[in-house]
Amino acid sequence: MIESIIQFMRRDVTRGVVGTILLKVGSGALAFALFSLAARTMSPDGFGIFATWLSVAQIASVVGLVGQESLLVRFLNEYQVGNRPDLTKGVLLSSLKLSSVAMLVVIGAIAIAANVKGDWWLLILAVSAYTAVNAGVMLGSQVARSLVSILMGEGNREFFWRVGVVLFLLAIMFGHRQLDPAELFAVMTIAMSVGLVAQVVSIARALPDLRGTAAQSETSRWRSSALHFWIASVLEAANQYFDVILVYWMLDPATAGIYFAASRLANIFAMLSAALYSFGARRLPSLHFSKNLQEFERTLQLMAEVTALCVVSGLFLVWIGGPHLLNLFGPHFAAQHWVLIVLAIGTAFQAAGGPSAAILQLTGHERIYVPVVAANVALRLVGFLVLIPWLGVLGAAISATVSLALATIALNVLCRRRTGVDPSILVLLRFGGSKRGTYAVGGADAGD
């Protein structure tokens, strides 16, 4: 038994998956520390306002990128495998231009809306700056992950900058000073700017010398894919952050802060899904485009094994330690243990479904992915409008979990039908019961 575990951990794919998950766990722990310290250094309403504006900024960053971050994952891998530096240069230049212009428009819209709402000008400025830098890090992390390493991409996006912010919050807490949301946004923006500079430098070093290469374009392909990637990314961001905005609107800032804290803790499983996506987005596209189907199958099996282990242990942690984790945000948070459990069931179900969304998008089936995510958002919105007046914040959690579970099932069915791949942990039963050949991974046809 021990020898089997040792052999399992020695596999290169296992080390890659586990390393990516550990990076996500570390970043998740830092995010937990950041938000719990923020809750303790702010008033309940102040933390709710911070959580709501953070959710707005995250959605705005995705809107302003107009799908370019996902587009780069899709095409950089294809052009690298095909040895096309001209198209590599073309897609990079095109993405930078489009996202820069769109981000300026989005930031202007945020500033105007916040000013009309009557928010403090310093908070508006801080949120706008955070939105711009956050979008830059999101775009840079996708390029760095494809061209440099997962550590350079995801580490600078979610890990390293949070260390400085947590230290700052510890100093505020031990100094017994109450923090303003605008101050925290400013500190986060400065810390993320350092990571953005590191990403830019590493990408410049990793890229081949493209100065003498004439940029070529595939504008029609890029536009078609970018539109669907953009819609999907916006809907995914709405799935993660729009809940908090609705709770703030339908209830009050303090309750929005409570829901935000519970949803961040439940995101231990969403963090697992993100880790699998990060690893899969770096490894699976090159295997797909190089037609290495045996290694593609092996990678998916190892990802499913790690996922199953993490889902079981994560649910146990939430069930037993949930009240203690919530109490770190403040005594009034601990009473919402059932909200945390319900949210965790939904995100655990999503994690068990595997990287079906990534596989659909990276194999050219992004068009059928968008309607599923849109239906998820619509169903969740209806659930909020019906259940929140009846059950309060618990109704919001139930709505989120039901919609997420249904979307996960739909995506897995589509993934199996369109690509021949079962990305969920159920694939372990198939491998355990009988031997199979390699996947016949299907790409999108002209109709897709």
Total residues belonging to the chain: 448
Q: For 440, list phi and psi in degrees, rounded to 5.
A: -95, 85
Q: What is the pLDDT of residue 112?
A: 87
Three-state DSSP state, 444: coil
CA 379 to each of CA 242, 372, 387: distance values in angstroms, whole numbers, following the listed order: 13, 10, 12
CA distance 346 to 266: 9
DSSP readout, 132-168?
Answer: HHHHHHHHHHHHHHHHT-HIIIIIIIIIHHHHHHHHH
pLDDT at 277: 56
349, 408 in Cβ contact below 8 A? yes
Q: Residue 254 burial by CB count (10 A; 0-12/13-18/19+): exposed, middle or buried? A: middle
Residues 6+ apart with CB under 8 A from 138: 61, 62, 65, 69, 157
Question: What spatial distance separates the first Cα and last Cα of the chain, rounded to whole Å?
Answer: 46
Count Cβ atoms within 10 A of the Cβ of residue 1 and give its class: 0-12 exposed, 13-18 middle, 19 or more buried: exposed
CA distance 58 to 443: 31
CA–CA distance, 327 with 330 (Å, rounded to integer): 5
Q: Is 181:123 a contact under the CB 8 Å cutoff?
A: yes
Provide the pLDDT for residue 276: 59
Mean pLDDT by 10 residues, the chain (448 residues): 47 56 75 90 91 92 87 76 78 86 91 79 90 90 75 75 93 91 95 89 75 76 79 81 88 88 79 60 58 66 73 82 83 84 88 77 71 88 92 92 91 82 73 46 47
CA neighbours within 13 Å on the CB side: how many for 440? 2
The pLDDT score that the predictor gives to residue 384 is 92
